[in-house]
Structure 1
Amino acid sequence: MLAADDSGDDKGPGVPMGGPSLTDIPLAILRAELERRGYVGIDSRAGDGSADGNAPDGSTCGSGERTGSYNTPLHVAALVLILVLSTFACSFPIIARRFPRLPIPRHFLFLSRHFGTGVLIATAFVHLLPTAFISLTHPCLPRFWNKGYPATAGLVAMVAVMIVVTIEMFFALRGAKHVHGSEYDTLIDEGAPYHETSSIPLVNGDSRGGVQLGKVPAGILFHSVFIGMALSVATGTSFLVLLVAISFHQTFEGFALGARIASLIPALFPASSPKPWLMAFAYGATTPIGQAIGLGLHNLYDPASTAGLLMVGMTNAFSSGLLLFAGLVELLAEDFLSDKSYETLRGRSRIEACIAAAAGALLMALVGAFA
C-alpha cells in the first residue's frame, strides 16, 4: 500500500487516530504511482509542464471521455442547416450576376467582391495558420513536432506558396495571359450595364484563369471537411457553440467565394455555363460531407488523436499557403496596388472598397474567436 510506505512517527496532533491519510502522501509520489498503474494520462503531465512532449505512440493523445450524450437527430439537422446556408451564401452573388433584372444593386456586388477579399485573407491568417501551428505542436505528439521542429506549419504553408508560384510560371511560360483582378471591377461597378460579351482579355484556353480561381476554392475546401468532422463529433455545449460559429464562418466564406466566381461571368464562364453553380454547390456540400463522415465515425474519429492532429495541421497549413498567396498577391495587391487599379478604382469607390475589405477581414477575425 502506498500509505504504508510513507507512514512516519512525526505526523503531529492533526493526524487521525486511524493512521496517516492520503493527504499526507507527497503529490509527486501519488502521481508516479497512478501513472504506473495507467490512471493518469497526457492531460495531467502537460498541465504541470512535466512532460517533454515525446510520446512514443498515439495512445496518450485524445479527447478522453466526451461530455453529454450524442444526439444523432440534432447532428443531422445541423448537417442540413450548414448545407443550405453554405450553398445559398455562395450562390447569392452568382444569382445576382446571372439575373441582372433582379432588384439587387450593382454597387452591392462591387462591395461584396472586396468584402470577400478581406474574408479570405482573415481565413488564412486567423483560422487556418494558427490552427495548423496549434495542431502540429500539440504536447501529445512526438518530440519532433513540438520540440525538434515546431515551425513545421510555417514550412508547409511556404511550400504551398512555392508550388503555386511554380504553377503560375508554368502557365505564364506557355503564353497564357494574366487576368488582372482589377479589370473585373468594370464588370460589377455601379451602373455598369450587363453584356454577354466583355472587353476583358480572355485567358488562352481558360487554363490560367481556372488555375487562378482554383487556388481560392482549394484553400477553402481542404479545411472545410475537417470543420464538418469536428462539428459532428462534438457534443453538449461545445457542439452548440461550434454550430453557431461555423454557421457564420461558412456564410462569410461562401459569400466571399461566390463573389469571386461571379466576377468571372462572362469573362471566364459563359452566361449559360453550369460551372459557377457546380462550384457553389461543391463549396456548400464540402462541410456537410465532413459532417456525414463525423456522424458515421463519431465513436472512432478523434480530432485530438495523433492522426487527427497531424492530418488537420498539415491540411490547414497547406490551405493557408494557398489562401495567403491568392488573397494577398492576386486579390488584394491587384485590386488596390496595381497600375490598372489606380485607373479603375478612384476617389470614393477606392475608399468604399478599402472599407469593405477591412470589414470582411474584421468580421471573419471576430468569428475566429469562436471557431
Structure 2
Amino acid sequence: MGPLFTATESIFQIVPETMAASSSTILCNASESDLCRDDSAAFLLKLVAIASILLAGAAGVAIPLIGRNRRFLQTDSSLFVAAKAFAAGVILATGFVHMLAGGTEALNNPCLPEFPWSKFPFPGFFAMVAALITLLVDFMGTQYYERKQEREAAHQSDEQPGREQSPGGIVVPVVVEGGNDDDKVFGEEASGGIHIVGIHAHAAHHTHSHSQGHGSCDGHQKIEIGHAHGHGHSHGGLELGSGARHVVVSQVLELGIVSHSIIIGISLGVSQSPCTIRPLIAALSFHQFFEGFALGGCISQAQFKNKSATIMACFFALTTPIGIGIGTAVASSFNSHSVGALVTEGILDSLSAGILVYMALVDLIAADFLSKRMSCNFRLQIVSYMMLFLGAGLMSSLAIWA
C-alpha cells in the first residue's frame, strides 16, 4: 500500500508540472492567443488609433509653439508653467509606471532562459545606465552649444560692436544704461533668466542697483554683479547657460520620447485583440498630447527657427503612428513571446524609462520648481504642485487599462 501510494502521489505531482511546461512551451512558440482576437476589427481600430494619436500628438506639441506669440501661452506665463508641471508628471509616471514596469515584465518572462535574465535585475540596471548616459549627453551637449555660441557671439560683436547674438539667431542689445523703473537688464525674462549663452554680458549695471535692501524676490532677479565697475562676467551669478540648456533639453527629451513612442506604437500594431487596442487608443492619445506639450514647451524655450521647430514637432507627432504601421505590417509573423522580442522590448523599455525619469526630474521638474520665480510666487507653487501630482496620478492610473 505504501509503495503504491507513493507512486500514485509522484504521478500526480509530475503530471501538472509536465502540463505546465508544455503549455508554457506552446505559449512561447505561438503568437498571440486571445479569446478576444479579431483581425478585421483590430485592423480598423489600428486606423482609428493612428488618426487619434497623430492628432493628439500634433495638437500637444503645436500649442506651445503657436502660443509663444500669444500672451497667455508664452513660456514665461504662469499658465504655461502649470501646464508644463502637469506634463512633467505625465512623463515621470510614463517612465516609472509604464516603461520600467513593461521592461521588468518582459525581462522576467518565463519564456526567457533562466541564465542570465533571472540572475540579475537587468531592468533597473539598464534604466540606471540610460540615466547616466543622458547626463553625459546633457553635459557634453551644453558645453558644445555654449562654445558654439561664444564663437558666434564673438564674430557678431566684431561686425556689430555693442550687440550680441542670442541662441535663436535674434540679435539682442546687451549694453543698457540705467533709467529703467524695474532695473532689469534688457533681454531678461520674467522668470529671471537671460537668453544669452556663453558670452560676457557687458551690462552697464552697477552693484548699488542690486543692493538697495530689496528682498531676494524683487523682480525675480537672479543677477548678482560682483564688480563695482560696469561689467558683469559670466563666471559671476549670471545664468548665461539657459539658452544652451534649452537647446540640449529639447533634443534629449525628444530622443527619449521618440524611442519609447516607437516601442508603444509597435506594441499596439502587433496586437490582434480589440480588447487590448481599445483602452490603448485613449491612453496613448492622452499620453502623446501631454508629452507633446512638454516637448513643444522646451522647443519654444530653445528659440529654434520655425523650420527646425516644425521638423522636430512633426518628427514627434509621426513617430507613434509609424510604429503602429510597422507593428501592423509584421503582426502576422510576429511572436511577442519569442526570446528576441522579449529581450529587445525589455531592454528598450528600460532604457526609455531611464531617459524619461532623468529628463522629467532634472530638466523639467527641478528646473522649474527650484527656480527663483517659483520660490517667489506662493500661488504658482500650490497650483504647480497640484498639477504635477495630478499628471503623475492620472498617467499612473492608466496602467490599469494599458
2:97/2:396 contact within 8 Å kept? yes
Kindly indicate whether residue 299 of structure 2 is the aligned counterpart of residue 248 of structure 1.
no
- Output the CA distance in 1 between the equivalents of 2:395 and 2:31: 27
Structure 1 residue aligned with 2:157: none
- 1:325 matched residue in structure 2: 358
Alpha-carbon distance, 1:296 to partner: 0.8
Contact 1:114–1:353 (CA under 8 A) maintained in structure 2: yes
Task: From the superposition, tell whether residues 101 and 140 of structure 1 become closer, same or farther in structure 2 (CA, over 3 Å).
Answer: closer
2:136 to 166, 174, 180: 166
1:78 is matched with 49
Pairwise CA distance, 1:319: 1.3
Separation in 1, partners of 2:111, 2:73: 54
Separation in 1, partners of 2:17, 2:363: 56
Q: Distance in 2 between matches of 1:336 and 1:136?
A: 35
The aligned residue for residue 180 of structure 1 is none
Q: Who is 1:223 aligned against?
A: 260
TM (norm. structure 2) is 0.67
1:232 to 260, 265, 269: 269
Deviates more, 1:298-307 or 1:313-322: 298-307
> CA 1:342/1:138 → structure 2, altered by over 3 Å: closer, same or farther?
same
Corresponding letter in the other structure for 1:156? F
By how many angstroms is 1:289 displaced? 0.5
CA distance in 2, matches of 1:122, 1:101: 27
The 2-side partners of 1:239 and 1:43 are apart by 26
Mean alpha-carbon deviation: is it higher for 112-121 or for 244-253?
244-253
Partner of residue 259, structure 1: 297
Q: What is aligned with 2:384? A: 353
1:243-322 correspondence to structure 2 within 5 Å: 243-262=281-300, 264=301, 267-270=302-305, 273-322=306-355
Distance 1:220 1:174, change over 3 A: closer
Unaligned runs of 5+ in 2: 148-185, 199-240
Decide whether aligned partners of structure 1 residues 230 and 174 sit closer, same or farther in structure 2, where only a CA change above 3 A counts: closer
Counterpart of 2:400 in structure 1 is 369
Question: 1:268 corresponds to which letter in structure 2?
Answer: Q
Tell me if structure 1 keeps the 8 A contact 2:108–2:117: yes
2:91 is the counterpart of 1:120: yes
Letter in 2 for 1:260: C
Q: Which moved more, 1:90-99 or 1:151-160?
A: 90-99
User: In structure 2, how many angstroms separate the alpha carbons of the residues matched to 1:221 and 1:282?
Assistant: 8
Task: Give the drift of 1:70.
Answer: 0.6
- State the shift of 1:146 in Å: 3.8
Cα root mean square deviation, aligned: 3.5
Q: Could you tell me whether the CA contact under 8 Å between 2:247 and 2:299 is conserved in 1?
A: no
Structure 1 distance, partners of 2:246, 2:78, is 24
- Letter of the 2:314 partner, please give it: F
Count of aligned pairs between the two proteins: 307
Relative to structure 1, is the Cα distance of residues 346 and 106 closer, same or farther in structure 2, using a 3 angstrom cutoff?
Answer: closer
* SS of residue paired to 1:148: coil
Opposite residue 130 of structure 2, the aligned amino acid is A
